[in-house]
Structure 1
């Protein structure tokens, strides 16, 4: 028997090739679907592959011999039955493969949608690449109906919250007397100090004082003094290290002393050293680094790295109300295990500030997907 293989895009085309080459006497030996092309398993094409044979010892051309014609007719009926059976099997196979292909396409689109959203939120690619396999496995574990009704926002939130577990969250609880706010210019340190001070005085009934070393901007001194007058608390200006030491001694019996340091370009190491010369960074002082959520993540990471030598005990993120992108916050918490104390979301003192909570911060990010769906 002469056996040949034929490959085409679908079964009808493959059968045409068989008939054209071997004639009506061809016998279908085997059929199957094969995947060709593609990249890493995606975007492959489905072809049909048929193995057909022709018995060269049998005369398939019409003759006047009746017995031969009868044999030929019986063979044709048998071949038709076999072909019908093969076609039915192929249809079932094609349907199954079509369902599988649709599922793979749906999964790829679903994963890509979340990937694009997280990238738009400026979540670091390292975090996204760790999340995607888990998200894909979860998707594949559900059937089509379950996928449609599943709460994917909660799943993503839970995953990211768990990744943030190494970071410490929560505000200042009077564990030390001196709280020093440091950070670059324009991030809202003075207003944040006023919010913490107002909460301590008005809500917690604490005895509070202010010290400012921001002598580069007269407006900053005036602003802090105005807040001090409103809260009826003292405020000292420290121009030198001796001034700062005297101010600390003056407020020795206070519950909380908040220090407003100069806002400068802290990408320059010189300003960190200058800050260290004026302020006594001892065990009685906690340092909270203030960063704006409107800043780029790489800049935040560089500033945090500059300040780590002080050290930084917690980070305060400001201006949440001025952005809809929260990836930088997640990046610092997950990739650098940065402890986060507070998040501010407006100018109102002391209301527009809340203690940081991993679940709430992640939900704020995921909520943006719902708002722009």
Structure 2
């Protein structure tokens, strides 16, 4: 495969250069805005850099209609309203598919394209359906690394599909690609392989309400014998809230102020199937908070721990929270307040960055209804907005 970079003042000018040198079979692999020339950083000209490629493998001659007496026109490539349009001659009645070698080489080009373009570069030559996909990923604040990878594959698929594919088709491709990426990490609810289930996180993310939903599911759906422990002794309202849930669900509750209290509670609940533990919400920037947790809860015991994060928070804050709690063995995330935002990219970003799956996503305050089991398809539906 022959690959070349072109720099021109505009896309039509670049396409003219590409046709002249590589022919009408060339494909656009990538493009970005660049600034050239200038003096001492001033008077730079705005242009476009395009990466194009062509497969030098000879192609089979297309069959011509028997009644045709003149040489058929070759497919031509032109620009209409900023879009690339392929004109196909009606004289050609066969479709030439890309060779296996071309498919392999295009796949290998994904890494090359990543090195050739900046994540923050301005794209102007994506076909319209791919451009729409780019807008979705950008609006959902998907990390640039993931966005560039997905868009590169979408562009490749679009060209290999003969420049065909409506917006919904490309969105479907994108959803499949995101689901495949998420499927690399373990998702799932409480495993019941460990007796103790602990939820941790900063203040205001809805840990206590989420714990009540989990307790109800364990009892009503899985018929488990459930007990509750709270170490949130900093807020009287939190203890009363959990006492109310415990009474409604007919579950025993113990309040623990120190590690001895915790061990006594665990001993009193030795005949229960699962014990759910609520923790205090404190300032996550204070490292002492996590150390205080270790002083109350025995994390060396058979413990499954979920980090609760609110989707209304900034991703930078979510990352800081994770780093603070990273001294505790976090099994999976729980994301809350999905009903209070329209931005869900952080679920994908954090899962990818920390290689941690998601257990649940909460959709409101109602116990036990407003909580759904997370899986790759559920998360991508939030992001892409298609089934």
Same-fold call, TM cutoff 0.5: yes
Q: What's 1:241 paired with?
A: 259
Could you tell me which of 302, 307, 330 is aligned with 2:348? 330
- Could you tell me how far 1:97 is from its partner in structure 2? 4.3
- Could you tell me how far 1:338 is from its partner in structure 2? 1.1
Deviates more, 1:226-235 or 1:202-211: 202-211
- Deviation string for 1:206-264 (max 9, x for gaps)? 11111100011100000000000111111111111111111111111111111000101
Matched residue of 1:103: which SS? strand
1:85-96 map, 5 Å? 96=76
Matched residue of 2:245: which SS? helix
| C-alpha contact 2:195 2:303 (8 A) present in aligned 1 | yes
Number of aligned residue pairs: 290
Q: What's 1:98 paired with?
A: 78
Q: What's 1:37 paired with?
A: 8
Flag the 1:45–1:192 CA change in 2: closer, same or farther, 3 A. Answer: closer
**Unaligned stretches of 5+ in structure 2?**
1-5, 21-72, 86-123
Q: What's 1:135 paired with?
A: 154
Deviates more, 1:105-114 or 1:313-322: 105-114
Determine the C-alpha separation between the residues in 1 that align with 2:15 and 2:368.
62
**Unaligned stretches of 5+ in structure 1?**
1-34, 50-91
- Could you tell me how far 1:273 is from its partner in structure 2? 0.7
- Could you tell me how far 1:108 is from its partner in structure 2? 4.4
Determine the C-alpha separation between the residues in 1 that align with 2:128 and 2:345.
22
- Could you tell me how far 1:114 is from its partner in structure 2? 2.1
| C-alpha contact 2:284 2:324 (8 A) present in aligned 1 | yes
- Deviation string for 1:268-300 (max 9, x for gaps)? 211111111111102411111111111111211
Matched residue of 2:360: which SS? strand
| C-alpha contact 1:266 1:306 (8 A) present in aligned 2 | yes
- Could you tell me how far 1:173 is from its partner in structure 2? 2.8
Q: When the two structures are superposed, what TM-score results if normalisation uses the length of structure 1?
A: 0.72
| C-alpha contact 2:188 2:359 (8 A) present in aligned 1 | yes
Deviates more, 1:118-127 or 1:97-106: 97-106
Could you tell me which of 124, 131, 137 is aligned with 1:118? 137
| C-alpha contact 1:164 1:337 (8 A) present in aligned 2 | no
1:219-368 map, 5 Å? 219-367=237-385
| C-alpha contact 2:154 2:170 (8 A) present in aligned 1 | no
Determine the C-alpha separation between the residues in 2 that align with 1:252 and 1:36.
72
Determine the C-alpha separation between the residues in 1 that align with 2:180 and 2:316.
23
Flag the 1:140–1:250 CA change in 2: closer, same or farther, 3 A. Answer: same
Flag the 1:198–1:97 CA change in 2: closer, same or farther, 3 A. Answer: closer
- Larger gyration radius, structure 1 or structure 2: 1
Flag the 1:111–1:247 CA change in 2: closer, same or farther, 3 A. Answer: same
Determine the C-alpha separation between the residues in 2 that align with 1:97 and 1:284.
64
Determine the C-alpha separation between the residues in 2 that align with 1:160 and 1:304.
22
- Deviation string for 1:113-144 (max 9, x for gaps)? 32222111011111111112111111111235
Determine the C-alpha separation between the residues in 2 that align with 1:300 and 1:165.
22
Determine the C-alpha separation between the residues in 1 that align with 2:190 and 2:385.
27
1:177-216 map, 5 Å? 177-216=195-234
| C-alpha contact 1:107 1:139 (8 A) present in aligned 2 | no
More helix by share: 1
Question: C-alpha root-mean-square deviation of aligned residues, in Å?
Answer: 2.7
